[in-house]
Amino acid sequence: MKNINYLRLLLSALLLGIMAFISMVIVVGDEESGFGPGFFSARVLPVIKFIFSVILFPSKVLDKFYTLNSWWGLGLRITIGCVLYSIVIELIIVAAKALDKKNPLPF
């Protein structure tokens, strides 16, 4: 626990949150009105939808026990996903630093 960089943990959670918010806005816009045919709809939109579903994946388990069908519930699910993924990212970095004592990672 002493090797965890809390600033990096917070920054990764914030970046994941910003990415989740942008992808949520694009996914809602696509479901409401749809985008016209073109490069964005064919190539970029499926990737953005996949990112959004990956960020929400950890909270899908909670949905089985307690359904949160409101905007507050969606925000809570996005927050849970971002925090869990940022913890996983930080633990991977700490483990990689512990394994590589001779050639430390630059971050």
Kindly indicate the confidence band of residue 105, based on its pLDDT and cuts at 50, 70 and 90: low
Buried b vs exposed e over 9-47: b needs ≥16 C-beta within 10 Å?
Answer: beebbeebbeebeebbebbeeeeeeeeeeeeeeeeebee
Structure tokens at 39: 């490069």
Q: Is the pLDDT higher at 107 or at 41? A: 41
Query: pLDDT digits over 31-76, tens only?
Result: 777 777 777 777 888 888 888 888 888 777 777 666 667 778 778 8
pLDDT at 1: 58
Please check whether residue 20 is in contact with residue 86, taking contact to mean a CB–CB distance below 8 angstroms.
no
pLDDT at residue 103 above 80?
A: no
pLDDT at 21: 87
Kindly indicate the confidence band of residue 14, based on its pLDDT and cuts at 50, 70 and 90: very high
Structure tokens at 101: 């004592």
pLDDT at 11: 92
Please check whether residue 86 is in contact with residue 9, taking contact to mean a CB–CB distance below 8 angstroms.
yes
